[in-house]
Amino acid sequence: MNVLRRIQLRRFSKEVQQPIQAQLDESFNPVQFSDPGQLARYLKKKILAHAPGRFVVIEKPYGISCVGQLQENGGVFGNSVRDERKAEKWAGTIKARKEEDIGVTISDSLKVLRKLLREPQLSFCTGLKRYLSGAIVLPCNEKDANILKDCIRRMSADVEPPYMYNALAITVGRPEKTSGILTGFSTFRNVGKHKEYIFEERKVSKRAKMGKFAVEGHMSYRVLETKNDVSLIDFSVNKFARHLPRLMLTQMSSPILGDTIYWRRLANVDGSPELISAGNRGHQIWVPPILSEKIGIPSRSLLTSLPIYCHVYNTVFEDVGGHEAHGLVAAARPPAHFIKMLDTLDLLTAYKKFKNQSEKPVEDPAMPAARTSGDALF
């Protein structure tokens, strides 16, 4: 090991408890915001499409929450879990997050954004999880807000592709099959002395589904490339509720790179990765040997030092009315830190090939394009 490398490792060991900004090179870090006005001005520069009086499509940065907290009565779509169960058995498990942990949210920025875009009724309807980047659609009036909600309800209930959300993920390992469809459900269950989200690859019972004890989901996927025990996966899902895509990819022994919770379920058994049950403790977590060298971070720190590398490159709304013949496709390119990681892990060529193929004209006019570019189709 050369002198410079030893100095770098010593310096890193002193900084390991500091925030991610001090641990990683700037190009690996998601963008940060200090106040709603700053975020609003950033979002204005990232307008992907604007149909005045109807919709605004913006690029949601990674690490930014849309609303920040569990909403009263479940927010826009109602509770995804049974209230009595949560009140009686989950008391203290799901806690309100501290304001400093939430940071600035999309909802916080709306007041300023309304003025900047001259859309006085601009509102939040539905977005993407904090750990995702991608395009989100903001309605400019109550009628279109209800149209979006109805569309999402229909598409999230679909049991066959094409699904609403199309995404890319960098994963540790790879699925056994190159492509396929996975169906199952997620539920919050006791594992030892605590609770975790669990995925079961089978049909959910009617009682569990109607009682909101479980959320069923469907995923289609294909592996675009695997190098150095790390993969780039293109997947489509009908919903992100209850950690479903994260659990599904983990179920296939390919947890998302940077996903601290579920990466831990991939154990190092005699030098090979092996999926273990939720709740297990004391095992050595599988980290591809070359990953630490490629990224430049000691293996013991990788689990807590990386953002989650998952990007929704487009969201399809099949029918929003008006003149949009094929609905609305809101698309956004991956953020800089995602592209940089692809380059670092030798997966950038695979992404460019996928992007070029995705943006070719669609032969069937009835099907929306699998757009990945930074715009939206109206």
How confident is the model over 125-143, as a mean pLDDT? 93
Instruction: Assess whether pLDDT exceeds 60 at residue 371.
Output: no
Q: Please, which pLDDT band fits residue 40 given cuts at 50, 70 and 90?
A: very high
Window from 24-28, 45-49, 229-233, 341-345 with minimum mean pLDDT = 24-28
Residue 96 pLDDT > 60: no
Quick one: which of 127, 176, 138 has its CA closest to 50? 138
The reported pTM is 0.83
pLDDT confidence band for 344 (50 / 70 / 90): very high
Q: What is the pLDDT of residues 215-224, one digit of tens each?
A: 889 999 999 9
pLDDT at residue 124 greater than cutoff 50:
yes
pLDDT over threshold 60, residue 236 = yes
Please check whether residue 248 is in contact with residue 240, taking contact to mean a CB–CB distance below 8 angstroms.
no
Q: pLDDT grade, residue 25 (50/70/90)?
A: low
Is pLDDT at 6 greater than 70 in this prediction? no
Opening angle at CA 209, ends 203 and 214, nearest 5: 80
pLDDT of res. 358: 85
Looking at every residue in the chain, the average pLDDT score rounds to 81
Pick the more confident residue, 268 or 279.
268
Phi, psi dihedral angles at 287 (to 5 degrees): -130, 115
Band (pLDDT 50/70/90 cuts) for residue 94 is: very low
| 300, 235 Cβ separation under 8 angstroms | no
**d(Cα 43, Cα 113) in Å, to the nearest integer?**
8
- The CA distance from 7 to 293, in Å, is 15
pLDDT value of position 275: 94
Identity of the highest mean pLDDT range in 87-101, 169-183, 347-361: 169-183
Query: Above 70 in pLDDT, residue 20?
Result: no
* pLDDT above 90 (res 354): yes
Q: Higher model confidence: residue 47 or residue 205?
A: 47
pLDDT of residue 197 exceeding 70, the answer is: yes
Q: What are the helix (H) ranges across 276-347?
A: 289-295, 299-305, 336-344
171, 98 Cβ separation under 8 angstroms? no
- Which stretches within the chain are classed as H helix? 3-15, 20-23, 36-45, 83-89, 99-102, 106-117, 142-156, 206-210, 244-251, 260-263, 289-295, 299-305, 336-344, 348-358
Higher pLDDT, 247 or 87: 247
Average pLDDT over residues 299-316: 91
Side chain identity, residue 63: G
Selection from 262, 123, 236, 115 nearest residue 181 by Cα: 236
How does DSSP assign 250-261, residue by residue?
A: HHTT-PBTT-HH
Q: Report the pLDDT averaged over residues 273-302.
A: 88
Q: Is the dihedral of CA 307, 262, 274, 237 positive or negative?
A: negative
Measured between alpha carbons, how far is 367 from 12 in angstroms, rounded to an integer? 49
Domain ranges (residues) in the chain: 1-26, 159-306
Band (301; pLDDT cuts 50, 70, 90): confident
Averaged pLDDT for residues 331-349: 94
Write out the two tokens for 341. 């990681």
**pLDDT at 202 (0 to 100):** 86
